[in-house]
Amino acid sequence: MYIILFGAPGVGKGTQAKIISSKYGFEHISTGDMLRESVKKGTPLGLKARDIMSKGQLVPDDIMIGIIREKLAEPQLKNGFILDGFPRTVSQAEALEKVLADLHYDNGVIIVIQVDEEELVKRLTNRRACKVCNSIFNNNEIAELTECPNCGAKYSFFQRPDDEEKVIRKRLKIFRETTLPVVDYYNNSTKIYGIDGLHPINEVSEQITKIINKTKENKKTVDA
């Protein structure tokens, strides 16, 4: 089984992916991690990607799709995986569908976590990171702390440039114009579900769990 997680920056995709991965044993795949892994392994596609990134350029779709194909062909992923951060464009979605079909992945679900943009701006501008361990915290949680709850570093909290309001609004604009049409592309599928990401983390997780369990049961019924 596979899960494609969608949502604007800050909706909680990464948090939910970790919960799902722990609960079901699915591998959590983020495109950034996958790209770095290919570069580290020195695969032909990874080396091409490294050369392009070293010039400060974006990795083109054909190389990204090739790297994703390599990753999804790994045998352990047949137990299930979560794809986070891909596809970002309609052309990537079309290419991904072909890869999934070629590798005989036929039991998938698309989950869209939805949160109002102004709430996302509020959430992200309120985040702080530790300079030492890079852990992310809500500023309200650590406002009176002098050391990081994770690594103990003193006076290490700061706001990352990515969490500044002007940067966030630019990222949301790109998401709206480039990635949101992917949801429209998948809207013809009966396996797409929208979830309100404003609910507490555990409630969002419960909704996702129900969708996964329902999908797994439906698959058993079809195979029976």
Q: Where in the sequence numbering do the catalytic residues fall?
A: 13, 88, 127, 160, 171
Burial of 198 (0-12, 13-18, 19+ CB in 10 A): middle
DSSP three-state, residue 100: helix
Distances (CA, A) of 111 to 2, 92, 95, 208: 11, 17, 19, 8
Question: Residue 35, CB half-sphere, CA atoms under 13 Å: how many?
Answer: 19
- Cβ neighbors of 110 (< 8 A, separation 6 or more) are 3, 4, 6, 186, 189, 191, 192, 193
